[in-house]
Amino acid sequence: MIRHPAAMLALVALSSLLLPPASATAGGRYYNSDSTIDTSHPDWMRWIPDHHSLAELSIPGTHDTMADNGGPSPETQGLSLRAQLDAGIRALDIRARHIADSFAIHHGSIFLGYFFGGDVLAVCQDFLNDNPTETIIMRLKNERPDDEQDNTRTFAETYEWYRSLYPNLFHQDTRARIPTLGEVRGKVVVLHDFTGGTAYGLHWELSPLLEIQDEFYVCCIWEIDAKWQHVADHLLLTNHPDPGDENDLYINFTSGAGGLFPSSVAGGECCTTTGVNEFFLDFLFAGPFVSLYPKTGVMMMDFPGAALIDGIIARNMPMAAQVADIASDFSTLANNMFYSTSGNVDSRTAQFKNFFVGLLPDHHWNVFASHTSGSTTWGYSYVHAQLHRRTDWVDGHSAVVFNSYTDTNSTPLITWRDFLQQQPLLVSVDGPTQASHFRSLLASQYPQRRWSTMARSTSAASDDDYDLRAVSGLPVAFRTDPLFFVFAWGSDPNQSPVADASGPYTGTVGEAMTLDGSASLDPDGRPLFYRWDTNGDGSWDTDWARTPTLTSALYLEPYTGSLRLQVTDGWASAVDTTAVTIVPEPGFAAALACGAGLLTRLRRERRRRTSSLAPERSLESASIR
């Protein structure tokens, strides 16, 4: 259903809590009208387990997806369709005019020069062939129902014709339900916004499973704030739904037009008005909102910048079972999100760290930053836990972010601090070399820890030129010298989890049984992911899930053997094997015996009849000769 959410009186309005607007330098990160963009996530859905419903995901999308030309009034995008998909967009808004039994792509009355087949479906097919782990949600709207021309069939019949041209492209499901990602990988999921035809799944306006905010009319610049409030209210509903709507698909349009061009609503106007995109990026980047609002739903945007796309995709990262799977996407988004920081080096370091602490709280985060662009007066050397990035220089600032396995160091502080103080400083070297030198010394002396160091020249202008925020709870030691300050900290390595499949299990053919892995544990206290191999054949029968129990294990025939449970904390994994015996259902043995006796009698009867017919067959064969 299309919703126009009322103000949530019991909850504080989001826009009143946002961080200060991002600096002007961040303009290319929340707004992008160019034909290229500084981000790339062509297969980010690969690290999301199959069982997640599309309603659980945060999905970047575009309003009037194909409107990348035509002037300031119709234009809503800078990127082509393929460029949008490669950047990470997974929800499309396709508006078609029915003419000459074809779909011409329009924005209102303006023909955009594209057609549904070769310019939309063919591009989607090529993209999904290249990236089969992905899915595309597509709203298909009859844009000009009162201006159809030269047709011999209905809009729905022409849509059926297009489906016949691309028989393997569309998700085929007439049920009114939100599919799981595993069901629709490599497919286009159409939300049909037209009348007629058979049921195609979910209807844009009529389905009770779609919760849509599309308050699009913005007459003037002072109404941009009101438009953002509609977006913010729907984000609130997405994360705090009404009873019964918890599993619905929430779709939220940040776009607007009317008295203003779409570019002004999205990007602001004349450097005096904040646009909706900037409000939204502040929301995505604000540390408290990352944890309080863990998903965005489907966001349909005009001119989305790199950081907007990245910030939405980032909300899905807690679903990844293996940390290594998100490493490349993390690097890109970390760089783009740093453009959202503002203020001095201390403020930027705090903002940057708070974002990652909110995004992935089960990790342990380190950030250090510098305001000495291009200088060798400071340097660093660190060991990360698979996620890390050195950012671009933004307003003369750059930062390094990386995760650690733990927030503990079992080596007593006084021991390694004294060791650090006693080591000689290298002569005539720069900050990076100095930092690497001291990290190597610590790693050699205490190899069971994971060490990081930062070295800063005493000739640096002031303490305001750098900041260090190590993992909360880890002690940081430093040594002073006439030439360099050296900071060091270390953490314990990751400990492998312990899998416990419980068991042995006994069940009955055809009756669901529960497998319980809740006795598994992680020595570092992290939550685990679980998956099961129910028949010990070496193939995993379930995808990774946070739930330790499998309540629907069903065996269709007797089985005596083993089953396996694998658990992971994101870095290391463990497997446990236990026995399982599946017995026939009651009465099966008797039925089997009865069936065997009946079969014996039938065989005897057949032999008797064959024997009695032998003379006739001899006579028949004789007459034939």
Alpha carbon separation from 286 to 14, 341, 342 (Å, rounded): 11, 10, 12
Task: Give the H or E element holding residue 236.
Answer: helix 224-239
Determine contact, residues 96/336, Cβ cutoff 8 Å.
no
- What pLDDT sits at residue 457? 84
> 395 versus 593: which is more confidently predicted?
395
Pairing of strands 549-553, 484-491: unpaired
pLDDT tens digits along 185-201: 999 999 999 998 666 77
For residue 268, the one-letter residue type is G
Report the distance separating Cα 82 and Cα 245, nearest Å.
33
pLDDT class for 161, splitting at 50, 70, 90? very high
Report the distance separating Cα 348 and Cα 337, nearest Å.
11
Of 83, 87, 194, 207, which Cα lies nearest the Cα of 148? Answer: 194
The 3-state DSSP composition of the chain as helix, strand, coil percent (nearest 5) reads 30, 25, 45
Report the distance separating Cα 115 and Cα 593, nearest Å.
66
DSSP character at residue 498: B
- What pLDDT sits at residue 5? 38
- What pLDDT sits at residue 495? 96
pLDDT of 279 higher than 80: yes
Question: What is the SS3 assignment for 319?
Answer: helix
Report the distance separating Cα 180 and Cα 313, nearest Å.
17
- What pLDDT sits at residue 593? 53
Mean pLDDT of 99-124: 97
**What's the first-to-final CA gap in the chain, in angstroms?**
81
Q: Which two tokens stand for residue 63?
A: 């309003």
pLDDT of 109 higher than 90: yes
Q: Which two tokens stand for residue 312?
A: 């939405």
Give the chain's mean pLDDT: 88
The residues, ordered by sequence, that sit 6+ positions from 134 with a Cβ below 8 Å of its Cβ are: 42, 43, 44, 45, 46, 85, 90, 127, 128, 185, 186
Which residues sit opposite 398 in a β-bridge? 370
CA 274: distance to chain centroid? 28
Report the distance separating Cα 71 and Cα 553, nearest Å.
58
Beta-carbon-side half-sphere exposure of residue 500 (alpha carbons within 13 Å): 7
Proportion of the chain above pLDDT 70, given as a percent: 87
Cβ contacts of 289-295, under 8 Å, gap ≥ 24: 289/14, 289/17, 289/358, 290/315, 290/355, 290/358, 290/359, 291/358, 291/361, 292/239, 293/235, 293/236, 293/238, 293/239, 294/239, 294/318, 295/56, 295/57, 295/58, 295/238, 295/239
Residue reference for tokens 């065996």: 555
Report the distance separating Cα 376 and Cα 433, nearest Å.
9
**Weakest mean pLDDT among 13-17, 136-140, 304-308, 601-605:** 13-17
Pairing of strands 364-370, 398-404: antiparallel
- What pLDDT sits at residue 7? 33
Q: Which two tokens stand for residue 447?
A: 């190899």
Of 77, 73, 86, which Cα lies nearest the Cα of 44? Answer: 86
- What pLDDT sits at residue 376? 77
pLDDT of 125 higher than 70: yes
Report the distance separating Cα 514 and Cα 266, nearest Å.
51
Residue reference for tokens 């880890």: 474
**Weakest mean pLDDT among 96-100, 290-294, 309-313:** 290-294
Determine contact, residues 233/8, Cβ cutoff 8 Å.
yes
Largest CA distance in the chain: 122
Of 289, 204, 183, which Cα lies nearest the Cα of 251? Answer: 204
pLDDT of 531 higher than 60: yes
Report the distance separating Cα 490 and Cα 349, nearest Å.
20
Which residues sit opposite 218 in a β-bridge? 258
Of 564, 368, 625, which Cα lies nearest the Cα of 476? Answer: 368
pLDDT class for 290, splitting at 50, 70, 90? confident
* CA-only gyration radius of the chain, Å: 31
Q: How many residues does the chain have?
A: 625
DSSP character at residue 120: I
Determine contact, residues 45/311, Cβ cutoff 8 Å.
no
